[in-house]
Amino acid sequence: MDQLITTIKHFAQDEDGVTAIEYGLLAALIALAIIAAATAVGTHLSATFSYIASLLP
């Protein structure tokens, strides 16, 4: 029983998993920002090409 309590205490004090979760969340937020920026640029670029295409005979 003492070994189980010791194992639980070590698990509660271990911060490696927390760090991995934080890095995962940071990577997800960066990916979300990249997707939002690419979508905005893509929409603007598409409108620009449509405008240029309308000017061609």
Model pLDDT for residues 13-56, shown as the tens digit of each residue? 776 667 788 888 999 999 999 999 999 999 899 999 999 999 99
The pTM (predicted TM-score) of the whole model is 0.56
CA distance 29 to 25: 6
The helix/strand count (H/E) of the chain reads as 2, 0
pLDDT recorded at residue 22: 87
Residue 14 one-letter amino acid: D
